[in-house]
Amino acid sequence: MSDKMFMGASTKQGLDIANKSREIIRNLIGDDVKDLNPAERDIVERIVHSTADPEYAKLVKISPDFVDAAMASLKNKETILTDINMVKYGITRYEGEVECYIKNKEVIKIAKENQITRAAAAMRYAADNGFEGIVVSGNAPTAVFEAMDLYEKGEMNLKAIVGVPVGFVGAADSKEALHNSNIPNIIVEGPKGGTPIAVACVNSLIQHL
């Protein structure tokens, strides 16, 4: 990816700001990302840019197969399934489908009948309705756990998980479990994470298409 496309900047003023930002970020986190490949570095740089928090360069963990698996899915225009609408609306310039079923009536019914979160129920609903692609969770650890469980049972055709839910209950545990799984993944260690992280990761990948 060209620096000219960093964070989607297109005007001269935007490009100048983006390039200056990237220069600052590289000076701050260079040692932390020196062993990453270019696509992985782009992801981390974009996350740091989106949060103004260089600590993320130490917290982001990317499985060796994540970028290749995620890019293959995106190039095939497979679905991006998000845990909440805020993540969905932040993903731009993708020619495939970006779906979120958190408000779907059937999902709400599944959640009530099984006493699970709507985020988890949305994963079940997607799996039962032909989903194939990438799961992106910035907020709901239950979505990560459910997607992993469905995948392990052979019931969900997912290619990779962006697992960066934020919070103090379940978030760190879900990410640790995902990191230790055989699913191509990117996580943020500990309680940090959230919508900006999930969106930054996916939009960075899309810019490589």
Strand 132-137 versus strand 79-82 pairing type: parallel
Strand 185-188 versus strand 60-62 pairing type: antiparallel
Three-state SS string over 32-49 comes to: HHCCCCHHHHHHHHHHHH
Q: How far apart are CA 208 and CA 2, in angstroms?
A: 9
Which residue is catalytic, options 22, 41, 46, 49? 49
- Provide the greatest CA pair distance for the chain: 54
Crossing angle for the helix pair 171-179 and 141-152, nearest 10 degrees? 30
DSSP result, 118-144:
HHHHHHHHHHHTT-EEEEEESS-HHHH
User: Is residue 208 annotated as a catalytic residue, yes or no?
Assistant: no
Active site residues: 49
